[in-house]
């Protein structure tokens, strides 16, 4: 159910972002989605890619500092209140959301979000109880292709 | 050969015999050699003769070892002023080799050796390797630069004299260094500590696990380094890191070397006489007191050095060492009086910053200190490389690391630095001596 997200430490300077992106492009590894958290001098690039293990090795060989985190990909109805409903269920269970970001593609009438919780397993249990769809990596790739 | 048995079984190598001379005999030998050398310098080196005369002294006035404190000092400036050959005590027909310093600050300095000087140098390096448990059968990768720098050739001849197998790979080409370390079953390596750190990092990226290699000892020197750096190297590589001390003006590496107790380098006192002085007044200090190290060569023919001021800050320890050597030790040298930087009127040594950084869990020893002046005020920026161990996917961890580093440096130096976290490998790696400070202040 859980997805592996890669986090890269990047300095805030020209070219810092394009280096890893180009490296993955040259290896024909597709980036499913990404987000950047930034401070004044540095940032963290968060990536969800098709083959995280290969991507991690490639990025580390290039000398980048890379971490792996478990995140959840959650299917949310693409309509007003769709996201609010999902969040309400998780908040009710007392789970604190660290951060989230969206996929640009949709599947049918649903969109996808990446959610990051300290306790992803508990989050999965809550989501399943509320019949909210959490998709795994294989399923995600399949849906994003269609 | 397993890592542990060879190390433990290393009883004393025959070449180490002079390390254990009874102190009385050692002092007699030192005096005999000192008197002979003072006469040689007086008769053949104009600068030295002139200074002796100014003090109203003659070689015959050196009657005891204590009289050494009456002799004039020699400084790096003297070497520059007499560039290139002005301090030679022998004609070129007896000089078999010249070395020179890199000359990053002005003109290089030139040092000379007779065959006898080379033999002495070979002997002290050989004893240096023996002191840390190396012997014939060991494979020594010599990654000190070969050439005008004394490190490469010095270590080379000493290792051969020991009967070890030397790989004269010289500095640089890190990937090849790692390949050779692995493929040739290297058991010991010589280089600067900062270059070895670079080798460990690159090896990790290439998937080479140092702890699975037969490498067991590193003979590191040619730049100041801290005890924290030693601990870091030993933890990351699984080898023992030994501190070798030396300087071209005296002979090159091999003036002093650590034994397996790793409690500060033993000075090869049968060839080099150490003193520690108050750097400001020039007054001799007692053993145990910290000050500037002053060295006198006791056998040098081509270029005798009398009371050479090294700028290295240390204290001499006459406490007996567990290894049984009678040679006195110097405290490991982590700072030099000319390394000192003055920031907003506060004296700071790069080694203080290195120690403070390595106190913070997960911090890496790749750092650089950048000094600038903004609106008349000095600013100190410390750039530290970030590795995967010290950050997570959230910003909190990074902010905490930055805060902890800032606090640690502030409590060590009294100055609040700007800590800048930077990507791995952004600081230029040195294959020789690391450049820790970039002073961009316009004075």
Residue pairs between chains A and B whose CB atoms are closer than 8 Å: 59
Residue B25 backbone phi and psi in degrees, to 5? -60, -40
Name the token pair of B128: 């240096």
Q: Do A67 and B394 touch (CB under 8 A)?
A: no
| Chain B residues with at least one Cβ partner in A under 8 Å | 205, 386-388, 391-395, 398-399, 420-426
DSSP H helices, A2-146, are 18-26, 52-61, 82-92, 120-129, 137-145
Q: Around Cβ B410, how many Cβ atoms within 10 Å?
A: 14
Name the token pair of A8: 């890269």
| pTM given for the model | 0.81
Residue A68 pLDDT exceeds 90: yes
Shortest distance, CA B143 to any CA of chain A (angstroms):
23
Q: Considering only the beta carbons, identify the residue of A11, A41, A46 that sits closest to B393.
A: A46
Percent of chain B topping pLDDT 70: 96
Looking at residue B36, what is its pLDDT?
Answer: 97
**Residues of A whose CB is below 8 A from B426:** 11
Residue B106 pLDDT exceeds 50: yes
Percent of chain A topping pLDDT 90: 54
Measure the CA–CA gap between A4 and A1, rounded to whole angstroms: 10
Q: Considering only the beta carbons, identify the residue of B391, B423, B425 that sits closest to A67.
A: B391
Mean per-residue pLDDT of chain B:
92
- Give per-residue pLDDT as tens, B391-415: 878 888 889 889 999 999 999 888 9
Q: Considering only the beta carbons, identify the residue of B205, B420, B423 that sits closest to A9.
A: B423
Strand partners for B92:
none
What is the mean predicted confidence (pLDDT) over B285-303?
Answer: 97
- Chain A from 77 to 96: CB within 8 A of any B CB: none
Contact by Cβ (8 Å): B288, B298: no
Shortest distance, CA B49 to any CA of chain A (angstroms):
58
**Residues of A whose CB is below 8 A from B386:** 9, 42, 65
Residue B9 pLDDT exceeds 50: no
Shortest distance, CA B202 to any CA of chain A (angstroms):
9
Model ipTM value: 0.82
Q: Which domains does chain A have, with CATH numbers?
A: 2-69 (3.30.2130.10), 72-145 (3.30.2130.10)
* Position B126 confidence tier, pLDDT thresholds 50, 70, 90: very high
Looking at residue B103, what is its pLDDT?
Answer: 55
Q: Considering only the beta carbons, identify the residue of B392, B398, B424 that sits closest to A42.
A: B398
* Position B6 confidence tier, pLDDT thresholds 50, 70, 90: very low
Q: Considering only the beta carbons, identify the residue of A11, A69, A99 that sits closest to B423.
A: A11
Measure the CA–CA gap between B302 and B95, rounded to whole angstroms: 7
- Give per-residue pLDDT as tens, B142-178: 999 999 999 999 999 999 999 999 999 999 899 999 9
From the list B237, B224, B251, the residue with the least C-alpha distance to B189 is: B237
Kindly report each contact of residues B307-310 with a partner whose C-beta sits within 8 Å and lies 24 or more positions away, as own/partner.
Answer: B307/B68, B307/B71, B307/B72, B307/B73, B307/B74, B307/B275, B308/B73, B308/B74, B308/B75, B308/B249, B308/B250, B309/B73, B309/B74, B309/B75, B309/B76, B309/B277, B310/B247, B310/B249, B310/B250, B310/B336
Tell me which of A143 and A27 has the higher pLDDT.
Answer: A27
Shortest distance, CA B425 to any CA of chain A (angstroms):
7
Q: Tell which of B423, B424, B425 to mutate to test the A interface (max A CBs under 10 Å).
A: B423
Contact by Cβ (8 Å): B272, B265: no
Contact A59/B at CB under 8 A: no
Measure the CA–CA gap between B333 and B348, rounded to whole angstroms: 15
Q: Which domains does chain B have, with CATH numbers?
A: 3-24+110-330 (3.40.50.12780), 341-439 (3.30.300.30)
């Amino acid at each position: 159910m859980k997805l592996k997200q890669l986090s890269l430490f990047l300095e805030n300077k020209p070219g810092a972002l394009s280096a890893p992106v180009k490296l993955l492009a040259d290896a024909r590894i597709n980036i499913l989605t990404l987000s950047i958290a930034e401070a004044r001098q540095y940032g963290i690039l968060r990536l969800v890619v098709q083959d995280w293990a290969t991507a991690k090795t490639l990025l580390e060989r290039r000398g980048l500092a890379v971490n792996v985190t478990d995140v959840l990909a959650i299917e949310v109805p693409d309509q007003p209140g769709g996201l609010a409903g999902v969040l309400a269920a998780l908040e009710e269970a007392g789970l604190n959301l660290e951060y989230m970001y969206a996929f640009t593609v949709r599947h049918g009438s649903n969109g996808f979000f990446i959610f990051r919780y300290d306790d992803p397993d508990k989050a999965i249990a809550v989501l399943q109880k509320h019949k909210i769809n959490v998709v795994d990596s294989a399923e995600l790739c399949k849906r994003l292709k269609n | 050969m397993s890592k542990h048995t060879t190390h433990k079984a290393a009883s004393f190598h025959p070449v180490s015999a002079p390390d254990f001379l009874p102190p009385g005999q050692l002092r007699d030998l030192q005096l005999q050699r000192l008197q002979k050398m003072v006469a040689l310098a007086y008769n053949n080196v104009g600068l030295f003769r002139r200074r002796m005369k100014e003090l109203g002294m003659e070689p015959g006035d050196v009657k005891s070892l204590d009289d050494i404190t009456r002799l004039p000092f020699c400084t790096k400036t003297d070497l520059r002023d007499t560039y290139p050959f002005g301090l030679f005590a022998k004609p070129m027909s007896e000089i078999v080799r010249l070395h020179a310093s890199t000359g990053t600050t002005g003109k290089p300095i030139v040092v000379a050796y007779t065959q006898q000087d080379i033999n002495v140098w070979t002997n002290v390096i050989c004893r240096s390797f023996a002191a840390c448990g190396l012997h014939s059968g060991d494979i020594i990768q010599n990654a000190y630069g070969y050439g005008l720098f004394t490190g490469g050739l010095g270590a080379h001849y000493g290792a051969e004299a020991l009967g070890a197998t030397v790989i004269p790979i010289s500095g640089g080409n890190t990937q090849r260094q790692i390949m050779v370390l692995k493929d040739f079953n290297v058991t010991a390596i010589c280089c600067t500590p900062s270059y070895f750190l670079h080798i460990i990092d690159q090896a990790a990226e290439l998937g080479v696990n140092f702890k699975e290699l037969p490498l067991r000892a590193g003979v590191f020197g040619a730049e100041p380094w801290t005890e924290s750096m030693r601990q870091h190297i030993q933890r990351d590589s699984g080898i023992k890191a030994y501190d070798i001390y030396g300087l071209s003006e005296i002979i090159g590496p091999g003036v002093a070397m650590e034994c397996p107790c790793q409690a500060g380098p033993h000075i090869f006192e049968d060839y080099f006489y150490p003193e520690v002085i108050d750097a400001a007044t020039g007054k001799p200090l007692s053993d145990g007191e910290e000050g500037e190290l002053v060295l006198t060569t006791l056998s040098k023919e081509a270029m005798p050095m009398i009371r050479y001021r090294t700028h290295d800050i240390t204290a001499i320890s006459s406490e007996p060492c567990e290894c049984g050597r009678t040679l006195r030790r110097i405290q490991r040298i982590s700072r030099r009086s000319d390394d000192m930087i003055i920031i907003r009127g506060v004296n700071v040594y790069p080694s203080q910053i290195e120690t403070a950084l390595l106190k913070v869990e997960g911090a890496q020893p790749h750092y650089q200190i950048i000094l600038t002046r903004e609106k008349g005020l000095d600013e100190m920026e410390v750039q530290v490389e970030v590795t995967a161990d010290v950050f997570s996917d959230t910003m909190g961890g990074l902010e905490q690391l930055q805060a902890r580093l800032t606090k640690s440096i502030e409590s060590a130096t009294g100055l609040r630095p700007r800590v800048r976290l930077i990507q791995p490998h952004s600081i230029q790696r040195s294959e020789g001596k690391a450049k820790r400070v970039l002073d961009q202040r316009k004075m």
